[in-house]
């Protein structure tokens, strides 16, 4: 009897999307955490004798540089691994920040309604009418380059995504009788919000968080591509793409490898998010049980 | 010549599960519906009555299929029929009247467009003729201003009007057979009576046979020629309608009959059937008669062998070994409720009003007076009923008293203190004094909490640091009080039946030991046997715990059963109030009389 809800809670592990997504994200996360140990070279170490070495599987490959070197003779594998650190830092911190701002406002607005809700709703409307890329570039110009600015810019641009979607979910839950019942048995607003409403919106929150992490990876890549993210002494995937642009005809792999890294990371987050949505959303759950 | 319109012979429907397992849902269902007659299929939810209607339409839900037996329409086999041929029959010779009139109509098409589409399918292609035919049909179902109606959208019509439109559409093809699946369940009592009368008139005018699916035995007995009673996928009794109601052969039918409160008969105890209908999976392990575990007459043989539907000496058929005992099931006369001592009023409502503003367009504004100068008092330990049709303001009244919404004007006093005081201490006091039981148990229970946690929510709010053991103990106490077994404490609401959910709902409200309980339609939408159990529960709790009850219901018979005093509401006003006996015995207001006539049956 008690095993059923447990099985239900762990049901998401059976979904193929979640498994593949989690595996991809897990690999990237692992690389990021252990980059200093895993990387065979210092990512900034230049070897001007061995520039543009192709990956090891090509004819001219060199086993010391498994994925080859770039135009300055830096080891591509090491740079990719260290790039994952930047990507993951931004992904986790920026999406958590955006979630915190967006979800808080969504819950307050949706729960209390009235003037507060109106105010938050209009703020979201105005905010969303700016093109996001332009907005983040403007913000970056104001904040100056650097990884913390990238995080702040993403938080400031993307909180609206959480706010709008979650507010609708809060509204639906708010009108359930059990929320009114909780107030009637004496729950404070805070307790009602955290014990009755938040558990109902949590699945959506987790899903949005996962998707937002993928978006954050792309935004970070764009900003480091135009040189507004980390400095030249650190490696980031967008920066690697920008560098490899000049030698695209000599060494296509230099361009392709960071692109593949971005692609699989974002794919992983999206699969994870989509899979979680399918397994955690109670409405979809009910439809399947019928 | 064969006069049977619809004949089922040993019909069986099964559910096919993923692992290749098959569960029989219906088995051995046989009946014949003669031309021009009405056959009632009666049973509680889960009995399988709707499955029969769906089998005729071949609209079984996914995973269900006809497993055996025959189903014939006018001598033609419906089960093996080619899709093409069946499609030609459905909607033409076999018509349907659905349960939810509003969701059966397309909200974005006018009535005229939908009617026209239906008539086009019937072969009337010219639009002018479609309009003419539609108008004639709408007039036949006594809808006024038919021409205007054709240009309106479904949301502009009331539920009763929508149902009339659907009846008009069903009869437009002059069908031989009309299948009505709970056509009046979603409607108010007064409208229900009119719709039944209309269906009767239409079937006579068009010479159609009717398959009437309902959970209401009394309604079926009044309207049908013959009745088939279903229990857990088996036919348990078949017979001539009036005889079946007056002298049932099967104990289940008898229990159904005794579980429904009556408006006219002398007050007697309702029969409470223990437990509930077993689910599909438990049924498989059950040997013998499916009703045996709940049957008051069950004997040795009932638990071993499954009875067959056999003709009884006095006419009718029943699947029971001990039919001679059935009429011995009796309930005692109801002890007159001890009239409560009228003390200082617990609840005092004075001239409250509730206005809702609705805005349309930029400047348009309309005001709706949902509650209009309602005043009444409620003494300690008194049970007061509030009756009226939907839209009469009953539920709004409950919300105002409990404080979910503020009234626009007027005064509400609880235990002598102002209930409209917004301060935190006043709120605390109100929580300890008054509690509410919500209408929809589905929405009223947080699906993510376990039962034990739901029923002790009051403790969670009042003393968040209470040790878990203490809470568990209180939860067990409350569950015992409302007659639920302690093992349910660890379940989630989705694992409970409707009746169990409503008991949990009541237990939560009782946790604070309130002096006033407000119950909003808590027995509507439940099966009669469950309804009788809940009424018995409220009466027992009253003697054990002593609290006052404001019982909101559209069911007059239930209110008569439970309450000493009654308020009759219409359009936000109390049109009549007084002792239940006086109001129902000698109604003064014409509206009360109308309500009584409609639900008298």
CA distance B252 to chain A (A): 29
Q: Closest chain A residue to B18 measured between Cα atoms?
A: A289
Q: How far apart are the first and last CA of chain A?
A: 19
Asked whether residue B553 is domain-assigned, the answer is: yes
B64 CB contacts (<8 Å, ≥6 apart)?
A: B13, B14, B15, B16, B25, B51, B54
The angle that helices B528-545 and B498-510 make with each other, rounded to 10 degrees, is 20
- Shared domain for B389 and B328, answered yes or no, is no
Task: Give me A135's structure tokens.
Answer: 């907005």
Asked whether residue B143 is domain-assigned, the answer is: no
Q: Domain boundary residue among B335, B361, B387?
A: B335
Whole-number Cα distances in Å, B471 to A78, A183, B513: 57, 19, 15
**Four-residue CA torsion sign, A90, A91, A94, A97:** negative
Asked whether residue B170 is domain-assigned, the answer is: no
A43-47, B329-333, B395-399: segment of lowest average pLDDT: B329-333
**Four-residue CA torsion sign, B522, B526, B530, B536:** positive
Domain that holds residue B582: 347-600
Q: Is B305 helix (H, G, I), strand (E, B) or coil?
A: coil
Q: Residues in chain A with pLDDT < 70?
A: 1-14, 281-290
pLDDT of residue B267: 66
Greatest extent of chain B over all pairs of C-alpha atoms, in Å: 80
B111-115, B213-217, B420-424, B470-474: segment of lowest average pLDDT: B420-424
Q: What is the CA radius of gyration of chain A?
A: 23
CA distance A186 to chain B (A): 6
B4-16 and B64-73: which strand pairing? antiparallel
- Shared domain for B391 and B242, answered yes or no, is no
Q: Which of A5, A178, A185 sits opposite B461 (nearest CB)?
A: A185
- What does the alpha-carbon distance between residue B233 and residue B290 come to, in Å, rounded to a whole number? 9
With cut-offs at 50, 70 and 90, classify the pLDDT of residue B227.
Answer: very high
CA distance B522 to chain A (A): 13
- What does the alpha-carbon distance between residue B345 and residue B384 come to, in Å, rounded to a whole number? 13
Asked whether residue B117 is domain-assigned, the answer is: no
CA distance B123 to chain A (A): 37
CB B65 within 8 A of CB B45: no
The DSSP code for B443 is H
Give the rounded distance of the alpha carbon of B253 from its chain centre.
18
Question: A77: left (phi > 0), else alpha (psi -120 to 50), else beta?
Answer: alpha
The helix (run of H) or strand (run of E) holding residue B512 is: none
- Shared domain for B568 and B466, answered yes or no, is yes
Of the candidates B460, B468, B456, B511, the residue with the CA atom closest to the CA atom of residue A188: B460
A285 CB contacts (<8 Å, ≥6 apart)?
A: A8, A279
CATH code of the domain containing B48: 3.40.50.300
Of the candidates B300, B400, B422, the residue with the CA atom closest to the CA atom of residue B352: B400
- Shared domain for B218 and B181, answered yes or no, is yes
pLDDT of residue B341: 57
Burial environment of residue B463 by CB neighbours within 10 A (0 to 12, 13 to 18, 19 or more)? exposed
Q: Which of A177, A186, A187 sits opposite B438 (nearest CB)?
A: A177
B439 contact A CB<8A: yes
- What does the alpha-carbon distance between residue B440 and residue B40 come to, in Å, rounded to a whole number? 28
pLDDT of residue A12: 57
User: Which positions in chain B touch A201 (Cβ < 8 Å)?
Assistant: none
- What does the alpha-carbon distance between residue B347 and residue B549 come to, in Å, rounded to a whole number? 11
CB A110 within 8 A of CB A60: no
Q: Domain boundary residue among B274, B301, B335?
A: B335
- Shared domain for B248 and B369, answered yes or no, is no
Q: Domain boundary residue among B300, B335, B370?
A: B335
Count structural domains, chain B: 2
Q: Do A185 and B511 touch (CB under 8 A)?
A: yes
Q: How far apart are the first and last CA of chain B?
A: 37
- What does the alpha-carbon distance between residue A260 and residue A268 come to, in Å, rounded to a whole number? 12
- What does the alpha-carbon distance between residue B40 and residue B256 come to, in Å, rounded to a whole number? 15
CB A182 within 8 A of CB A195: yes
Highest mean pLDDT among B46-60, B116-130, B259-273: B116-130
CA distance B550 to chain A (A): 16
The helix (run of H) or strand (run of E) holding residue A141 is: helix A132-143
State phi, psi for A94 to the nearest 5 degrees. Answer: -65, -45
Kindly report, residue by residue over B117-143, the tens digit of the pLDDT.
Answer: 999 988 888 889 999 999 999 999 998
Q: Do A181 and B427 touch (CB under 8 A)?
A: no
pLDDT of residue B266: 66
Query: Concatenated DSSP letters for B540-561?
Result: HHHHHH--EEEEEES-HHHHHH
Query: Concatenated DSSP letters for B384-437?
Result: EEEE--TTSSHHHHHHHHHTSS--SEEEEEETTEETT--SHHHHHHHHHHEEEE
Kindly report, residue by residue over B161-201, the tens digit of the pLDDT.
Answer: 899 999 999 999 899 999 998 888 878 778 888 899 999 99
Bridge partners of B235? B230
B364-378 and B347-360: which strand pairing? antiparallel
- What does the alpha-carbon distance between residue A175 and residue A172 come to, in Å, rounded to a whole number? 6
Bridge partners of B415? none
Which tops the pLDDT comparison, B316 or B208? Answer: B208
B501 contact A CB<8A: no
Asked whether residue B358 is domain-assigned, the answer is: yes
Asked whether residue B446 is domain-assigned, the answer is: yes
Q: Please report, rounded to a whole number, the percentage of residues in chain B having pLDDT higher than 90.
A: 25
pLDDT of residue A3: 44
- Chain-wide mean pLDDT for chain B? 85
- What does the alpha-carbon distance between residue A136 and residue A153 come to, in Å, rounded to a whole number? 6
- What does the alpha-carbon distance between residue B381 and residue B339 come to, in Å, rounded to a whole number? 9
Bridge partners of B213? B41, B181
A14 contact B CB<8A: no
CB B66 within 8 A of CB B55: yes
- Shared domain for B356 and B239, answered yes or no, is no
Which tops the pLDDT comparison, B424 or B563? Answer: B563
pLDDT tops 60 at residue B205: yes
- Shared domain for B326 and B355, answered yes or no, is no
- Shared domain for B427 and B353, answered yes or no, is yes
- Shared domain for B486 and B580, answered yes or no, is yes
Asked whether residue B429 is domain-assigned, the answer is: yes
What does the buried/exposed string (b/e) look like for B378-390 if buried means 16 or more CB atoms within 10 Å of the residue's CB? bbbbbbbbbbbbe
Give the mean model confidence (pLDDT) for residues B479-501.
87
- What does the alpha-carbon distance between residue B7 and residue B347 come to, in Å, rounded to a whole number? 58
B285 CB contacts (<8 Å, ≥6 apart)?
A: none
Place of tokens 């069986």: B12
Give the mean model confidence (pLDDT) for residues B410-434.
85
Q: Do B448 and A188 touch (CB under 8 A)?
A: no
Q: Do B402 and A200 touch (CB under 8 A)?
A: no
- Shared domain for B30 and B60, answered yes or no, is yes
- What does the alpha-carbon distance between residue B482 and residue B485 come to, in Å, rounded to a whole number? 9
- Shared domain for B308 and B232, answered yes or no, is yes
B residues 462-481 closer than 8 Å to A (CB): 462, 464
- What does the alpha-carbon distance between residue A13 and residue A23 come to, in Å, rounded to a whole number? 12
Task: Give me B101's structure tokens.
Answer: 């009139």
pLDDT of residue B176: 92
What does the buried/exposed string (b/e) look like for A255-282 if buried means 16 or more CB atoms within 10 Å of the residue's CB? bebbeebbeebbebbbbbbbbbbbbbee
Give the mean model confidence (pLDDT) for residues B318-326.
82
Kindly report, residue by residue over B339-360, the tens digit of the pLDDT.
Answer: 555 566 889 898 999 988 876 6
Of the candidates B250, B263, B178, the residue with the CA atom closest to the CA atom of residue B218: B263
Domains and CATH numbers, chain A: 78-289 (1.10.3720.10)
Which tops the pLDDT comparison, B30 or B345? Answer: B30
B272 CB contacts (<8 Å, ≥6 apart)?
A: B259, B529, B532, B533, B536
Asked whether residue B155 is domain-assigned, the answer is: no
pLDDT of residue B524: 80
ipTM comes to: 0.78
A residues 143-202 closer than 8 Å to B (CB): 176-178, 180-188, 191, 195-196, 199-200
Whole-number Cα distances in Å, B176 to B121, B285, B556, B599: 17, 41, 36, 30
pLDDT of residue B569: 92
CB B531 within 8 A of CB B523: yes
- Shared domain for B468 and B445, answered yes or no, is yes
Q: Do B512 and A185 touch (CB under 8 A)?
A: yes
B443 contact A CB<8A: yes
pLDDT of residue B54: 85
Give the mean model confidence (pLDDT) for residues B231-241.
89
């Amino acid at each position: 009897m008690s095993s059923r809800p447990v099985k239900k809670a762990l049901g998401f592990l059976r979904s193929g999307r979640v498994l593949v997504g989690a595996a991809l994200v897990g690999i990237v996360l692992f690389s990021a955490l252990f980059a200093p140990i895993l990387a065979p070279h210092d990512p900034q170490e230049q070897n001007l004798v061995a520039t543009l070495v192709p990956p090891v599987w090509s004819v001219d490959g060199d086993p010391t540089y498994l994925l080859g070197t770039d135009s300055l003779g830096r080891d591509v594998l090491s740079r990719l691994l260290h790039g994952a650190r930047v990507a993951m830092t931004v992904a986790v911190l920026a999406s958590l920040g955006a979630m915190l701002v967006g979800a808080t406002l969504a819950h307050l607005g949706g729960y209390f309604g009235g003037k507060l809700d109106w105010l938050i709703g209009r703020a979201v409307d105005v905010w969303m009418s700016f093109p996001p890329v332009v907005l983040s570039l403007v913000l970056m110009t104001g904040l100056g380059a650097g990884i913390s600015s990238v995080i702040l810019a993403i938080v400031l641009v993307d909180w609206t995504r959480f706010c709008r979607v979650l507010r609708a979910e809060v509204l639906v839950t708010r009108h359930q009788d059990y929320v009114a019942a909780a107030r009637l048995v004496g729950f404070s607003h805070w307790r009602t919000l955290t014990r009755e409403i938040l558990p109902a919106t949590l699945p959506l929150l987790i899903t949005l968080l996962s998707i937002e992490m993928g978006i954050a990876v792309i935004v970070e890549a764009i900003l480091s591509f135009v040189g507004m993210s980390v400095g030249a002494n650190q490696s980031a995937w967008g920066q690697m793409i920008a560098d490899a642009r000049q030698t695209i005809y000599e060494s296509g792999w230099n361009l392709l490898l960071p692109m593949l890294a971005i692609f699989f990371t974002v794919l992983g987050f999206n699969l994870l998010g989509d899979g979680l949505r399918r397994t955690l959303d109670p409405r979809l759950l009910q439809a399947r049980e019928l | 010549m064969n006069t049977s319109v619809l004949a089922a012979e040993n019909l069986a429907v099964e559910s096919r599960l993923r692992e290749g397992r098959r569960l029989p849902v219906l088995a051995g269902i046989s009946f014949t519906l003669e031309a021009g007659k009405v056959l009632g299929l009666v049973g509680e939810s889960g009995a399988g009555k709707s499955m029969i209607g769906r089998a005729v339409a071949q609209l079984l839900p996914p995973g269900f299929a006809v497993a055996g037996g025959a189903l014939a329409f006018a001598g033609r086999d419906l089960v093996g029929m080619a899709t093409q041929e069946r499609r030609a029959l459905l909607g033409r010779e076999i018509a349907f009247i659905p349960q939810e009139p509003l969701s059966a109509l397309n909200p974005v098409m006018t009535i005229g467009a939908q009617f026209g589409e239906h008539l086009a399918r019937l072969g009337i292609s010219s639009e002018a003729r479609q309009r003419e035919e539609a108008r004639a049909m709408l007039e036949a179902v006594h809808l006024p201003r038919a021409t205007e109606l054709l240009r309106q959208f479904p949301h502009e019509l009331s539920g009763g009007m929508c149902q009339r439109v659907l009846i008009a559409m069903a009869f437009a093809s002059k069908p031989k057979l009309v299948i009505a699946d709970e056509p009046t369940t979603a409607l108010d009592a007064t409208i229900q009576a009119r719709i039944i009368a209309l269906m009767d008139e239409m079937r006579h005018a068009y010479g159609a046979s009717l398959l009437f699916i309902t959970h209401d035995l009394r309604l079926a007995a009044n309207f049908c020629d013959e009745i088939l009673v279903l229990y857990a996928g088996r036919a348990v009794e078949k017979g001539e309608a009036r005889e079946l109601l007056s002298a049932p052969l099967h104990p289940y039918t008898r229990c159904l009959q005794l579980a429904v409160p009556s408006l006219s008969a002398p007050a007697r105890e309702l029969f409470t059937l223990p437990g509930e209908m077993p689910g599909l999976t438990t049924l498989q392990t059950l040997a013998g008669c499916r009703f045996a575990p709940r049957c008051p007459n069950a004997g040795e043989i009932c638990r071993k062998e499954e009875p067959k539907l056999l003709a009884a000496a006095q006419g009718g058929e029943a699947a029971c070994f001990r039919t001679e005992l059935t009429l011995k099931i009796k309930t005692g006369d109801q002890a007159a409720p001890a009239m409560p001592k009228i003390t200082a009023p617990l609840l005092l409502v004075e001239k409250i009003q509730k206005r809702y503003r609705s805005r349309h367009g930029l400047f348009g504004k309309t005001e709706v007076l949902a509650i209009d100068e309602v005043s009444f008092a409620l003494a300690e330990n008194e049970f007061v009923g509030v009756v009226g049709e939907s839209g009469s303001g009953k539920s709004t009244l409950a919300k105002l008293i409990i404080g979910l919404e503020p009234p626009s004007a007027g005064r509400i006093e609880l235990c002598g203190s102002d209930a409209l005081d917004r301060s935190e201490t006043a709120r605390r006091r109100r929580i300890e004094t008054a509690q509410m039981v919500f209408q929809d148990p589905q929405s009223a229970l947080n699906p993510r909490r376990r039962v034990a946690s739901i029923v002790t929510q009051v403790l969670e709010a009042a003393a968040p640091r209470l040790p878990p053991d203490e809470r568990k103990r209180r939860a067990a106490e409350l569950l015992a009080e409302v007659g639920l077994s302690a093992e349910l404490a660890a379940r989630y609401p989705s694992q409970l039946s409707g009746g169990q959910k409503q008991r949990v709902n009541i237990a939560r409200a009782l946790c604070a030991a309130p002096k006033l309980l407000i119950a909003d339609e808590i027995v509507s939408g439940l099966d009669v046997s469950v309804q009788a159990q809940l009424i018995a529960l409220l009466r027992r709790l009253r003697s054990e715990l002593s609290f006052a009850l404001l019982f909101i219901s559209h069911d007059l018979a239930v209110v008569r059963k439970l309450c000493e005093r009654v308020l009759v509401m219409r359009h936000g006003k109390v049109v009549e109030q007084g002792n239940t006996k006086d109001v129902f015995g000698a109604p003064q207001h014409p509206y009360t009389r109308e309500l009584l006539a409609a639900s008298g049956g």
